[in-house]
Amino acid sequence: MPSTLLKKVWDAHAVRTLPNGQTQLFVGLHLIHEVTTPQAFDMLRERGWKVAFPDRTIGTVDHIVPTRDQRRPFGDLMAEQMLSSLERNCQDYGIRLLDLSTGMQGIVHVIGPELGITQPGMTIACGDSHTSTHGAFGAIAFGIGTSQVRDVLASQCLAMDPLKVRRIVLGGRLQSGVYAKDVILEIIRRLGVKAGVGFAYEYAGDTFERMSMDERMTVCNMSIEGGARVGYVNPDQTTFDYIRGRPFAPQGDNFDRACAWWQSMASDPGASYDDEITIDAATIQPTVTWGINPGQSIAIDDRIPASADEEALEFMDFRRGQPLKGTRIDVAFVGSCTNGRLSDLREAARVVRGHRVAPHVKALAVPGSQSVRAAAEREGLDRVFTEAGFEWRGAGCSMCLAMNPDRLEGRQICASSSNRNFKGRQGSPTGRTLLMSPAMVAAAAVAGEVVDVREFASAEVGVGG
């Protein structure tokens, strides 16, 4: 019987079916960070339990690390305590921690892939919603809460409800100036933020096949914003070429053997799906959110729809029928696990090169990891950003979540390459977030307002996917 990747990976990791119908699923890789683990480790200590598979658990620090000055001890006592507690827990339980001293630190969903830790056919869990990112490699990866972090630490297993699969087929070429971020914003806009509940999203079709791994990660990252617990792309030669030679990847003959197994986990031709939708890539435009969830977006040439939600309009201080083009911004943020990779920084730098950030705009370029930062500096991207008036920061989650000093103030409007525009997400309870691609953020930083990157003066606009 032809089968989907989801079913193959699920079956390969199923320990047993529980009386309530859930599957007890073995977790191949548990990624941990400083925010969702302290209580989980405390619960382990109280019960005298050990970590079942310390060698299948890897830690990093990302949410709370300051990005301006990363010297220890941190200025924020609470952040320092959280990091110290993760260090102690990793040491006590024999878990490898990729901290600031290693050169491998970064946002958990950036370092897993770039170090070759994330591999096809795996089950991956992490106490962060955007764990779906790792599905770009053909892994089944999901975010979990603190009590589940405890369960995985103690047993390396999770009780999971079975998922249906919706195949989202994207065909054709993306227009110039349209990126993977626009693709996923468009998918969420069309289907809604709850359509994915109970589903895994399989992204298929020649547009996804042409995408780089960075682009696939951007799409899978935001699957959770469409309600899907899991999003994945079937592994192919692009996947294998990306993984080859990375520090944690299989080496030598083992790599070839791994590739054969990874390939076998891809969905079979003729596999049946619970739902399937098709989108013409050429119809997708640069997309910007106007509301308070990632599904409330419009193409840059459109106007806020007549059906727009009242609460969102009130919070954002927008009107029905209003265009977003021309909206004055206060802050521009390029970064996060959605768009803080080298290719994202390259696209943003391409737009700002030779320009200056508008005087009223505070602009941040925040690499997703120490490796991304080092690679960007080798290419001189840091100079492009700083000469344009961006602040060039250390690696971390930064303004995606504002659990660190990078925060909006008051009613500021932020053009952001992150993934959530919920009320208060960027630190100020009244701050406003407009989600868009890194190139669009860069263009907005220079113009001082939301613009169409395709019309941006002298910008060489790239093509995503």
- Residues near ligand SF4 (CB under 6 A) are 62-63, 107-109, 128, 130, 336-337, 397, 400-401, 418-419
Taking the C-alpha atoms of residue 189 and residue 284, their distance in angstroms, rounded to an integer, is 11
Closest CA to 294 of 169, 421, 205: 421
Q: Could you tell me which residues are beta bridge partners of residue 29?
A: 124
- Give the residue with the Cβ less far from ligand SF4, 61 or 304: 61
Least distance from C-beta 304 to ligand SF4, angstroms? 26
Taking the C-alpha atoms of residue 434 and residue 444, their distance in angstroms, rounded to an integer, is 11
b/e burial code for range 313-336 (CB count within 10 A of at least 16 → b): beebebeeebbbbebebbbbbbbb
User: What are the distances in angstroms from CA 254 to CA 56, 244, 249, 432?
Assistant: 18, 11, 9, 49
Q: What DSSP state is assigned to residue 435? A: E
Taking the C-alpha atoms of residue 159 and residue 372, their distance in angstroms, rounded to an integer, is 35
Taking the C-alpha atoms of residue 309 and residue 103, their distance in angstroms, rounded to an integer, is 45
The torsion angle over the Cα atoms of residues 413, 419, 424 and 427, rounded to 10 degrees, is -80
Tokens encoding 8:
């193959």
Taking the C-alpha atoms of residue 202 and residue 136, their distance in angstroms, rounded to an integer, is 10
- Give the residue with the Cβ less far from ligand SF4, 62 or 114: 62
- Give the residue with the Cβ less far from ligand SF4, 99 or 128: 128
Rg for the chain (alpha carbons), in Å?
21
Closest CA to 328 of 369, 361, 365: 361
- Give the residue with the Cβ less far from ligand SF4, 337 or 434: 337
97: CB partners within 8 A, 6+ apart: 58, 59, 60, 61, 86, 87, 90, 91
Site of tokens 């809460």? 145
- Give the residue with the Cβ less far from ligand SF4, 8 or 432: 432
Taking the C-alpha atoms of residue 268 and residue 247, their distance in angstroms, rounded to an integer, is 30
Taking the C-alpha atoms of residue 315 and residue 196, their distance in angstroms, rounded to an integer, is 26
Least distance from C-beta 126 to ligand SF4, angstroms? 9
Nearest 5°: the CA angle 408, 37, 79 is: 40
Do residues 336 and 398 make contact, with C-beta atoms less than 8 angstroms apart? yes
For the chain, give percent helix, strand, coil, nearest 5: 35, 20, 45
233: CB partners within 8 A, 6+ apart: 135, 136, 137, 138, 202, 203, 204, 208, 211, 216, 219, 220, 239
Do residues 75 and 69 make contact, with C-beta atoms less than 8 angstroms apart? yes
